Amino acid sequence: MTWNTDDASTALRVLAVDDEKPALDELVYLLNEQVGVGEVHGASEATGALRVLRAHPVDAVFLDIDMPGLTGMELAGILSEFAEPPAVVFVTAHDDHAVAAFDLGAVDYLLKPLRAARLAEAVRRIAAARATVPASPPEQTHPSEVIPVELGGVTTLVHRADVAWVEADGDYARLHTRTGSHLVRIPLTALESRWEGAGFLRVHRSYLVALRLVTGLRSTGSGTVVCLRAEGASGAVELPVSRRQVRELKQRLVHGPRQNWSQR
């Protein structure tokens, strides 16, 4: 990675995606030469791009359209569902997708072969857009946030609305949904912070639960458990509640706007 500006805090972090290596190498090179661009990552297909995005937050994605697997248009649709979606600039040899690109909210649409001056204009547009959009409060999250999960080379998109509870697993977290569980490289504390305003509560050091699915609390000989409706499965799930969280859980269940959470 290369930093091209004296103020690293304002430099754009970007991801270039193209399945043709010469084109990808050229795009990465030209982005590194741009004033105002700092960290530059590259990926040769959509799954690789999602892998990079899990590990590195970026401000913008420069994206080819015709790629194997997920196309650039399909990847852009996925990116739009992120809690903090990056700006998207399409870089393509075809001019017949421009309308669809801007329907997806693309910041710019660049035609190959790339010209440095035209790329610089796209970078300026991204920087200008960042300067005029205020940062969202930490508790606000995108209503349709999705988390890409990779298993055996296949990327699955898990919607937050489908998650019943999350279990800590070392530095990872396991998302429990109606169809099974998914291990993601995200600490439970990070999901706790991101999803607090979307009806999730940390009830134990190892568990984060969707309050909309809570059916009750039950006292046991060793403490308190929370009962969750197991969507898509028989019976219910019971998870331990730490002693210091019992009061907050009760207050959230009684006073929280649960009618809105099921819509998020």
Q: What are the pLDDT digits (tens) for 57-70?
A: 999 999 999 998 88
Q: Which stretches of the chain score pLDDT less than 50? A: 1-6, 135-143, 234, 257-264
Q: How many CB atoms lie within 10 A of CB 119?
A: 21
pLDDT attached to residue 8: 55
Domain 12-132 fold is Rossmann fold (3.40.50)
Q: Which of 112, 137, 157, 141 is nearest to 200 (CA)?
A: 141
Domain boundaries for CATH 2.40.50.1020 within the chain: 146-261
Query: HEC states along the chain?
Result: CCCCCCCCCCCEEEEEECCCHHHHHHHHHHHHCCCCEEEEEEECCHHHHHHHHHHCCCCEEEECCCCCCCCHHHHHHHHCCCCCCCEEEEEECCCCCHHHHHHCCCCEEEECCCCHHHHHHHHHHHHHHHHHCCCCCCCCCCCCCEEEEEECCEEEEEEHHHEEEEEEECCEEEEEECCEEEEECCCHHHHHHHHHHHCEEEEECCEEEEHHHEEEEEEECCEEEEEEECCCCCCEEEEEECHHHHHHHHHHHHHCCHHHHCCC
The CATH architecture to which 146-261 belongs is Beta Barrel (2.40)
Domain boundaries for CATH 3.40.50.2300 within the chain: 12-132
10 Å CB burial of residue 6 (0-12, 13-18, 19+) is exposed
pLDDT attached to residue 1: 34
